[in-house]
Amino acid sequence: MRILLTNDDGIFAEGLCALYDALCMEHEVFVVAPEAERSAVGHAITIADPLRVKKVKRGRKFFGYAVNGTPADCVKIAVHELIGPQIDIVLSGINRGANVGINVLYSGTVSAATEGVILGYPGIAISLNSYHDPDYCFAAYVAACLLDHFSDIFSENLFCLNVNVPALPAHQIKGVKWVNQSTAPLLEKFEKRIDPHGHVYYWQCSEKFTESDPETDVVALSQGFITLSPLYFNITQDTLLQRLKRQNISL
């Protein structure tokens, strides 16, 4: 397969390199990723500034293109300018930290894979549920397996597969589970601080999921399952739309 590989943690992130290493023997992998970390930028794109691209080496070998833009910018510029349209799938990750629940909407990792879907390519976003000294080897192996396993499904359906892997030793993982994206609100906290000049500033310091449904990504991941959710970018509420269409609106 011809794979476009990107992320939101930056082109030098360990998770991206682990995924590259797991895929490059069997696939043609093209790396186009942000030059610096762009986590939680969601589906933002750059329109007011130029996009600059640098060739990046890993060791002495060409590795990929670093872009001074967002994950979604990377996918667009890869397809339109750097790699061309002949790719089979967009892979994004492996992200440092889970992308489940409402955080899916803020995620640059998921948005890069979804951008692929918008442009007509299937996408996989893969995240590891750990921020502290993560070991990406098993998650990279999972990504490679899923790519083989779902190649037929990907060729027949255009969607983004959101994959989250628990940060557990392989033998403690309970299995793979298809789940819904949790929509339960997050409990968020801001810390109010004062800078050395006496000005108040705020820093988001914690968030907690409030979900309890085991059929959701948030709960299944916390229980030790690898979670899989098919996503799509059309966020219209179709059932409500059909109902609203029956109403007469006279202005």
Residues engaged in binding Mn ion (CB under 5 A): 8-9, 39, 95
Distances (CA, A) of 55 to 8, 61, 164, 238: 17, 11, 30, 44
- Are residues 35 and 11 in contact, defined by beta-carbon separation less than 8 angstroms? yes
Q: In this chain, which residue has its C-beta nearest to Mn ion? A: 39
Q: Which is nearer to Mn ion, 114 or 154 (CB)?
A: 114
Q: Which is nearer to Mn ion, 9 or 35 (CB)?
A: 9
In the complex, what is the shortest distance from the CB of residue 215 to Mn ion, in angstroms, rounded to a whole number? Answer: 26
In the complex, what is the shortest distance from the CB of residue 61 to Mn ion, in angstroms, rounded to a whole number? Answer: 25
Q: Which is nearer to Mn ion, 154 or 164 (CB)?
A: 164
219 phi, psi to nearest 5 deg: -75, -45
Q: Which is nearer to Mn ion, 8 or 217 (CB)?
A: 8
In the complex, what is the shortest distance from the CB of residue 112 to Mn ion, in angstroms, rounded to a whole number? Answer: 10
Closest CA to 90 of 177, 34, 7, 17: 7
Q: Which is nearer to Mn ion, 95 or 182 (CB)?
A: 95
In the complex, what is the shortest distance from the CB of residue 28 to Mn ion, in angstroms, rounded to a whole number? Answer: 25
152 phi, psi to nearest 5 deg: -65, -45
In the complex, what is the shortest distance from the CB of residue 198 to Mn ion, in angstroms, rounded to a whole number? Answer: 33
In angstroms, rounded to a whole number, what is the distance separating the alpha carbons of residues 9 and 67? 12
- Strands 61-67 and 53-58 come out as antiparallel
Helix (H, G, I), strand (E, B) or coil at 223: coil
